Amino acid sequence: MIRHDFDEIIDRRGTDSEKWNDYPPDVLPMWVADSDFKCPAPVIDALHERVRHGVFGYCWDDLMKVEKAAAHWMRTRFDWEVSPEWVVFSPGVGSVLSAAVNAFTMPGDYVVIMTPVYPPFSMAPVFNGRIPLNASLRIGGNGYEIDFAGLETLLAKPRTKLLLLCNPHNPTGKLLTREELLRVGELCLKNRVVVLSDEVHCDYVFDGKKHIPFASLSPEIADISLVAINPSKTFNLADMRTAGVISSSKFLREQYRTAVTNVKLGRSSLGLLAFETAYMTCAYYVDQLVPYIKGNLDYAVASVNGNIPGISVRMPEATYLLWLDCRELELSQRQLVNFFLQEAKVALNSGESFGQEGVGFMRLNTACPRATLHDGLSRIEQACRARIR
């Protein structure tokens, strides 16, 4: 058994890292959702061997590596029997959203999203001449909840053609239950709305809960849905630009494939190799990573709620992201962002970028060594305590 050291501190500055290069050296970046962990050793070894070959011409486009690896991961991790033919290569889930918008809607159509949500969910419709409709999640006693009456109203509009679903949900950490997923699916079936389910955080689920791929719910729901997966979050492979979109519906698959092909988004041999190696041989890494992240979350939630005045947080059911409620600090969103950057010296994502429902919130990424997390939370605590003196 390979043991991975998630406590290892790796200097990422000067390595073309968006996360680490965007801010000066005195600011600790805990924002964009990649991890600070080294990717699995088998992936590194496979890439080294390929690079030693020294020739990087155009990649053959019919290798089935992504397709077979994606099917294997879905079967072994989520008990979902996927045929490799159901998988369509995509260069990252950000491009998946735009491709889905172009495949299943026309300019002027409505695209429903559940806000607050990862910014590209609203950007993809707007940039492509479609109109996003916000089905706002409500904060209830047990965390965020779907307003099903409001969702049904939006789905029933004649020009609503697509629902972009995020599950596990970024940034709130909500994991939809089977009952919630079925209700969403039934509403979309009733209103003939296609569902693109972004499930890139599916491997980060805690406390005995289980992620359920949306298209696995029933044959009827499978006929109107596509599921997007990517090893980028799980194995820290975002730079490999290789994802998969899964659908048992040949009609939806071919529509989506046409949208991707139209913009000539080709495969990369290194991305294919990393995708295949991670999903076929690196389950051990995830089995060690998830408990480590849960330990980070336990530590962070206890620290925030117990030691940091003016900020509170709920334990997420999934993902490595914390959705910090900073409303008690009584700062405008601009002041809040500046407070973290200038006083705490920590870079977080502004909640407002996830929609108006995120005003007063900030997103913190816990996918880092425990020592880094301790440093970041200590900086925030000191800044908050200094502010209330």
CATH number of the domain within which 360 lies: 3.90.1150.10
320-359 pLDDT tens trace:
999 999 999 999 999 999 999 999 999 999 999 999 999 9
C-alpha–C-alpha distance, residues 10 and 280, integer Å: 26
The pLDDT > 70 percentage for the chain reads 98
Given pLDDT bands bounded at 50, 70 and 90, which one contains residue 285? very high
pLDDT of residue 141: 86
Asked if the model's pLDDT at residue 263 lies above 80, the reply is: no
Per-residue b or e along 310-343, where b marks 16 or more CB atoms closer than 10 Å to that residue's CB: bbebbbbbbbbbbbbbbeebebebeebbebbeee
Q: Does any domain span residue 104?
A: yes
Summary mean pLDDT of the chain: 96
Given pLDDT bands bounded at 50, 70 and 90, which one contains residue 381? very high
My answer on whether 276 and 290 are in the same domain is no
Q: Does any domain span residue 46?
A: no
My answer on whether 181 and 307 are in the same domain is no
**Domain end residue (candidates: 229, 255, 281):** 281
Which of 122, 246, 143 lies closest to 196 in space, CA to CA?
Answer: 246
The pLDDT > 90 percentage for the chain reads 92
My answer on whether 98 and 238 are in the same domain is yes
C-alpha–C-alpha distance, residues 373 and 378, integer Å: 8
pLDDT of residue 64: 85
65-99 pLDDT tens trace:
889 999 999 999 999 999 999 999 998 888 999 99
The residue-averaged pLDDT of 58-66 equals: 78
Given pLDDT bands bounded at 50, 70 and 90, which one contains residue 59? confident
Q: Does any domain span residue 319?
A: yes
My answer on whether 244 and 303 are in the same domain is no
Asked if the model's pLDDT at residue 195 lies above 70, the reply is: yes
My answer on whether 239 and 376 are in the same domain is no
Kindly give, in sequence order, each residue whose CB lies less than 8 Å from that of residue 316, ignoring residues fewer than 6 positions away: 172, 173, 174, 206, 297, 322, 323
For residue 80, CA distances in Å to 29, 70, 199, 213, 217 come to 36, 11, 14, 8, 10
Instruction: Give the β-pairing of 160-166 and 194-198.
Output: parallel
Report the number of distinct structural domains present in the chain.
Answer: 2
pLDDT of residue 62: 63
212-250 pLDDT tens trace:
999 999 999 999 999 999 999 999 999 999 999 999 999
Backbone angles phi, psi at 197, to 5 degrees: -105, 115
pLDDT of residue 61: 65
Asked if the model's pLDDT at residue 265 lies above 80, the reply is: no
**Domain end residue (candidates: 233, 256, 281):** 281
My answer on whether 317 and 354 are in the same domain is yes
My answer on whether 72 and 186 are in the same domain is yes
Q: Which residue has the higher pLDDT, 259 or 92?
A: 259
310-320 pLDDT tens trace:
999 999 999 99
My answer on whether 183 and 327 are in the same domain is no
pLDDT of residue 261: 82
Q: Does any domain span residue 2?
A: no
Asked if the model's pLDDT at residue 208 lies above 80, the reply is: yes
My answer on whether 184 and 166 are in the same domain is yes
My answer on whether 172 and 270 are in the same domain is yes
The residue-averaged pLDDT of 288-304 equals: 98
Q: 255: domain CATH number?
A: 3.40.640.10
> Which residue matches tokens 């239950």?
177
Q: Which domain range does residue 343 map to?
A: 18-41+284-388
Asked if the model's pLDDT at residue 382 lies above 70, the reply is: yes
My answer on whether 225 and 323 are in the same domain is no
My answer on whether 275 and 299 are in the same domain is no
**Domain end residue (candidates: 281, 314, 349):** 281
Which of 275, 294, 372 lies closest to 40 in space, CA to CA?
Answer: 275
Asked if the model's pLDDT at residue 374 lies above 80, the reply is: yes
Give kind and range of the element (H or E) at residue 321: strand 321-325
Q: Does any domain span residue 264?
A: yes
Which of 127, 101, 96 lies closest to 112 in space, CA to CA?
Answer: 101
132-148 pLDDT tens trace:
999 999 998 889 999 99
